Each structure stands twice: as structure tokens, then as C-alpha cells.
């Protein structure tokens, strides 16, 4: 788990005030870390184009050019007059050294384009929409071949993680000091490439302060591996899955839960459904059940039964249709409840809770803002907002799961996730731990899937969690 920050300006300032570092020293480290990355990957004399803006993001790039000069065939493209004091200083140094400085892309030959393009146009100082010239430049850079590195933040991604017009499409983002939330908006996922952090003169653990946002990784998974031999099916919980009108959703969730370790799984249904032999079925909730999954394919019937089940003091995952029903309000802020909405369902939840009345576009543009709003009002409820980077919140902390894959954009994969979370709740995991592990397992299964990414089925995801 790594720390993530909304803004690192205060952390930069703290380095200067508390540890006596200077802005120049921080910048030297930023440039050196990009140099190290390039040296580790590219041989001498490769062609490197560094595109530098007027502020300190540009200054990082100009300093990088100085460090790479003579070992590589370096050019810096400076399309606007440098403005910040550091950019002016770095520009003067690069000039004295004889670095090739150009002001337009067209002077570079198309046939022998650069092997590496480093984007240092805008970083954290982007404070307005890109003008036509910057848009054209970024579009042309994106269309060029070559390994693409973004310095700090891909140009065009704003503070909220939105790309309003064009953004630099990087293979890797080398971000300065610490991870930033804007790099983990859903939109940003198509621009950042891999993300690594550069130290800025002190080790990252010293640079970073306290935060309430964390980035999950595969090491955070805690699989329900069985330890004790002296066990029986009851040792691993009994999950009830409420099956609704669309019976497939509940059956997929039940299958997923069985594969993820639940000792017993029963589907609760008023009609006879076709389930595998190892899944039981009945019409009322068994007394000994240890968790419930409800909402998937439910439709809007059975209101009395749904209310009764939601009122039972038992761990539950609530999904899908229930976010469009005021009955959801009865479970908010009770312990051991996990909500797993997709963006449209989350908008409905926000409306029902009277926290906000917004469109899906507004939500997607401000995912962190609205998840935090929910978290502040319902700190005891675990929320998992689905997306390219799913956000999980509990107790005012946000966990980002960046491992999502486009292969999961398929009907039925959400039902698998519900089943995985419910399986862990049934086995006694806390709501937040169940959600973190299930969400990671779901994504890791999709990532490990060996066939083409368009072909993944919910059953493949279930198969994948068996071999993590
Ligand atoms: N503050 C520090 O101590 C450090 C800063 N560093 C670098 O400095 C960067 C931030 O530098 P700045 O605050 O100077 O900001 P930037 O360099 O990101 O951009 C600011 C400049 O771009 C202009 N600008 C903003 N939006 C624009 C738009 N849409 N179209 C045209 N021009 C636009 C501004 O007027 C300003 O001239 C970080 O991203 C990082 O790369 C690093 O060197 C590490 C240390
Ligand atoms: K940049």
C-alpha cells in the first residue's frame, strides 16, 4: 500500500523549511531520476526529445537535458518563453552547454523521429484549459512513435484528474515526491502508463506525511487460504444469495462465492432455479447463515422480504437494483455492510441520501470528491465505487485499486465481485478487508487471464481466483 496525496506543494515546502533543502535541489533530484530511468533503458546516442513548458515542469525537463547532454542526442523543444525563475536558470545553463534548443516540432525530421519523448510541458501548475497550440502539439507528440515519458503528471491532466481536451499519452509517468490522486481518476488511466515515484532529496518515507488515501497493490491481498486441518464446511461460513427476477446474476455470485472459499452457499429464491449441485436453494433465509448478498438481478419486487433481510443483523453486500430504492437507507451506517455501486447506481445513492444530485459525467469527473462526501457522512459503511480504478472507502479512508482491466467490462463480472466479497464476509473477514481482498482478486484474475482481453467471461474470472 502506498500513500497518495491530493497536493504535494505542502510536502515540497516542508522539505525546504524543515530539512533545509532548496527548490533547486529538489529539481536536480527530479531530473536525475528521469535520467536514471533513461540510462537504464536506452543506449548511448539515442535520440531524445524533451518538450519543456514555461514553468518548473519545463525546468525539470531542461535540467534533464543538461544531464543527458553528450551521452544522448538530446533536443529540447521550448514552445513558449520560459517564465519561472528556475526555468530561466535551467535554460541559461542548457544554452551555455550547447544543448540543441528548438521552438517548433516541424524542424525535427519525421523519418528519424526521437526514440524517447519526455513531456515536461505542464505539471501541477496546469490551471486552465489548453489553448489550440498546446492541443496541437500534444496531438502531434501522441501520434509519434517512441517511448513516452511524462514528467510528474502527463500534460493535460488537471487537478481533478480530468482531461478536458487533449492529454499526453505516456508509457510511463515519473511523478515527483509522492503519488497524486489526479493520476488515479478513471480518465487518467489511459494517459499515465506505469507510474513510478522519484525521491526528491530525502527518502520518500520522510518526504511523505499523513494521508487518508492509499494505493493498493497485489501484495495487499489476503486470500482465504485454509490453515487448520481439523475443519468442516461450517468452519467457512454460510452465505445466502438472494436471487431475483434475473436469476443469472445471483447464480454467478453464488458460484463465485463457492470458488472463493465459502463453506456453504444457498440461493434464496421463490422459483426453482438451475444451480450446480453444490449450491443449495430455499425460499427463506437459513438461520445459520453468516452473510448475505442482495441486489443483483433483484428487480423491484419482494419489498417486504428485502426489508426484512436488510434489517437482519448480519454481514451483507448490497448491489445493483437496491441503489434505486429508498430501502437502501436502512442499512447505511450499520456495521458490516458493503455497497458496490457502479457510477450510475452511486449517483442514485447520492440522490437518495440527499448528499448530491449529479449526473454520471459529473461523478466521473470528480470521483474522489463524491466518494469523500459519502465517506464523511457514512464512515461506518464500506463503499466500493466501480470503475477503471475502483475506489473503496471506510472510516474516512480511501483505498484505490488500480489493477482493474478493460477485460472486466462485461455483463456478469460485477456479480462475480459481489460473490467474492460476500464469500469473505461469510468467512468472517471485516467488511473493509473483505472488500479490499475481493476487489484485488477480481482484478488480478482478469489480469492473469491468458487469452485475448475481449473474451473474458464471468466464469473465467471465477476460474482465475482459484489459482491466485
Ligand atoms: N515545487 C517544487 O519544489 C518542485 C516542483 N517540481 C516541478 O514543478 C512542477 C510545477 O511547476 P509550476 O508550478 O511552475 O507549474 P507547471 O510547470 O506545471 O506549469 C506552470 C506554467 O504553465 C502555465 N500554464 C498553466 N496552464 C496552462 C495552459 N493551460 N496553457 C498554457 N500555459 C499554462 C502557467 O502560466 C505557468 O507558466 C511540478 O509538476 C514538477 O514537475 C519539481 O521540480 C520538484 C520540486
Ligand atoms: K508533464
**Residues 397-406 pLDDT 10s:** 999 999 999 9
Same domain, 230 and 294: yes
pLDDT of residue 244: 85
Same domain, 156 and 62: yes
**Domain membership of residue 9 as a residue range:** 2-15+22-210
Same domain, 68 and 192: yes
Reading the block at residue 361, the C-alpha cell is 459525467
Q: Which of the listed residues 156, 189, 210 is the one where a domain comes to its end?
A: 210
How remote is the CA of residue 56 from the centroid of ligand 1, in Å? 5
Which residue among 7, 55, 158, 177 has the greatest number of ligand 1 atoms within 8 angstroms of its CB, and so is best to mutate?
55
Same domain, 435 and 296: yes
The C-alpha atoms of residue 236 and residue 257 are separated, in whole angstroms, by 11
Q: Is the pLDDT of residue 108 over 70?
A: no
Task: Evaluate if pTM is beyond 0.90.
Answer: yes
Backbone angles phi, psi at 131, to 5 degrees: -80, 175
Same domain, 303 and 178: no
Give burial (CB, 10 Å; 0-12/13-18/19+) of 282: exposed
Rg over alpha carbons for the chain, rounded to the nearest Å, is 26
Atom 28 of ligand 1: nearest residue by CA position: 130
* Number of domains making up the chain: 2
Task: State the pLDDT confidence band at 58, using cuts at 50, 70 and 90.
Answer: very high
Residue among 253, 240, 237 nearest 316 (CA):
240
Same domain, 185 and 301: no
Atom 5 of ligand 1: nearest residue by CA position: 56
Q: Are 321 and 298 in contact (CB under 8 A)?
A: yes
Q: pLDDT (tens digit, 9 = 90+) per residue, 166-220?
A: 999 999 999 999 999 999 999 999 999 999 999 999 999 999 999 999 999 999 9
CATH number of the structural domain spanning residue 377: 3.40.1190.20
Same domain, 153 and 96: yes
CATH number of the structural domain spanning residue 153: 3.40.50.10260
Q: Is 53 helix (H, G, I), strand (E, B) or coil?
A: coil
How remote is the CA of residue 116 from the centroid of ligand 1, in Å? 22
ipTM of the complex: 0.97
Task: State the pLDDT confidence band at 110, using cuts at 50, 70 and 90.
Answer: low
How remote is the CA of residue 56 from the centroid of ligand 2, in Å? 10
Strands 238-242 and 397-401: unpaired
Same domain, 160 and 236: no
Same domain, 96 and 115: yes
pLDDT of residue 462: 98
pLDDT of residue 321: 87
Same domain, 266 and 339: yes
Same domain, 197 and 247: no
Q: Which of the listed residues 210, 233, 249 is the one where a domain comes to its end?
A: 210
Same domain, 164 and 238: no
The C-alpha atoms of residue 286 and residue 262 are separated, in whole angstroms, by 15
Q: Are 461 and 439 in contact (CB under 8 A)?
A: no
Ligand 1, CB within 6 Å, residue ranges: 12, 23, 26-27, 30, 53-58, 60, 83-84, 122-131, 134, 151-153, 176, 200
pLDDT of residue 299: 76
Reading the block at residue 323, the C-alpha cell is 441503489
Q: pLDDT (tens digit, 9 = 90+) per residue, 22-50?
A: 999 999 999 999 999 999 999 999 999 99
Q: Which of the listed residues 182, 210, 238 is the one where a domain comes to its end?
A: 210
SS (H, E, C) 105-124: HHHCCCCCCCCEEEEECCCC
pLDDT of residue 306: 87
Amino acid at each position: 500500500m502506498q500513500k497518495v496525496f491530493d497536493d504535494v506543494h505542502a510536502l515540497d515546502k516542508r522539505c525546504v523549511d524543515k530539512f533545509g533543502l532548496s527548490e533547486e535541489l529538489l529539481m536536480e533530484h527530479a531530473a536525475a531520476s528521469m535520467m536514471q530511468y533513461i540510462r537504464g533503458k536506452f543506449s548511448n546516442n539515442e535520440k531524445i526529445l524533451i518538450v519543456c513548458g514555461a514553468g518548473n515542469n519545463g525546468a525539470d525537463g531542461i535540467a534533464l537535458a543538461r544531464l543527458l547532454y553528450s551521452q544522448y542526442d538530446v533536443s529540447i523543444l521550448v514552445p513558449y518563453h520560459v517564465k519561472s525563475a528556475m526555468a530561466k536558470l535551467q535554460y541559461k545553463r542548457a544554452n551555455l552547454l550547447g544543448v540543441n534548443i528548438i521552438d517548433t516540432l516541424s524542424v525535427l525530421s519525421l523519418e528519424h523521429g526521437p526514440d524517447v519523448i519526455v513531456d515536461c510541458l505542464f505539471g501541477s501548475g496546469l490551471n486552465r484549459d489548453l489553448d489550440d497550440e498546446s492541443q496541437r502539439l500534444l496531438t502531434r507528440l501522441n501520434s509519434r512513435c517512441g517511448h513516452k515519458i511524462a514528467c510528474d503528471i502527463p500534460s493535460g491532466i488537471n487537478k481533478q484528474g480530468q482531461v478536458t481536451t487533449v492529454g499526453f499519452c505516456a508509457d510511463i509517468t515519473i511523478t515527483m515526491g509522492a503519488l497524486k490522486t489526479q493520476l488515479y481518476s478513471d480518465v487518467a488511466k489511459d494517459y499515465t502508463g506505469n507510474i513510478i515515484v522519484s525521491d526528491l532529496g530525502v527518502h520518500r518515507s520522510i518526504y511523505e506525511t499523513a494521508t487518508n488515501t492509499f494505493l493498493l497493490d497485489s501484495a495487499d491481498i489476503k486470500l482465504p487460504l485454509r490453515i487448520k486441518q481439523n475443519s468442516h464446511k461450517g468452519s467457512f461460513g454460510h452465505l445466502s444469495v438472494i436471487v431475483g427476477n434475473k436469476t443469472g446474476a445471483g447464480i454467478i455470485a453464488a458460484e463465485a462465492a463457492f470458488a472463493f472459499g465459502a463453506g456453504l452457499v444457498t440461493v434464496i429464491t421463490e422459483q426453482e432455479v438451475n444451480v450446480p449441485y453444490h449450491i443449495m436453494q430455499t425460499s427463506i433465509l437459513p438461520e445459520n447463515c453468516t452473510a448475505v448478498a442482495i441486489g443483483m438481478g433483484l428487480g423491484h419486487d419482494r419489498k417486504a422480504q428485502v426489508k426484512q433481510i436488510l434489517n437482519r443483523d448480519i454481514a451483507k453486500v448490497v448491489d445493483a437494483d437496491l441503489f434505486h430504492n429508498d430501502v437502501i437507507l436502512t442499512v447505511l451506517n450499520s456495521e458490516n455492510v458493503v455497497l458496490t455501486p457502479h457510477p450510475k447506481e452511486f449517483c442514485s445513492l447520492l440522490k437518495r441520501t440527499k448528499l448530491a444530485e449529479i449526473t454520471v459525467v459529473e461523478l466521473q469527473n470528480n470521483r474522489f470528491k463524491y466518494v469523500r462526501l459519502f465517506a464523511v457522512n457514512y464512515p461506518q459503511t464500506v463503499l466500493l465505487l466501480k470503475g477503471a480504478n475502483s475506489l473503496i472507502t471506510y472510516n474516512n479512508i480511501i483505498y484505490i485499486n488500480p489493477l482493474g482491466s478493460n477485460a472486466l467490462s462485461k455483463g456478469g463480472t460485477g456479480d462475480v465481485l459481489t460473490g467474492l466479497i460476500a464469500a469473505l464476509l461469510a468467512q468472517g473477514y471485516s467488511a473493509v478487508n473483505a472488500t479490499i481482498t475481493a476487489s484485488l482478486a477480481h482484478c488480478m484474475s482478469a489480469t492473469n487471464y491468458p487469452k485475448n482481453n475481449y473474451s473474458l467471461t464471468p466464469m473465467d474470472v471465477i476460474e482465475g481466483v482459484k489459482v491466485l
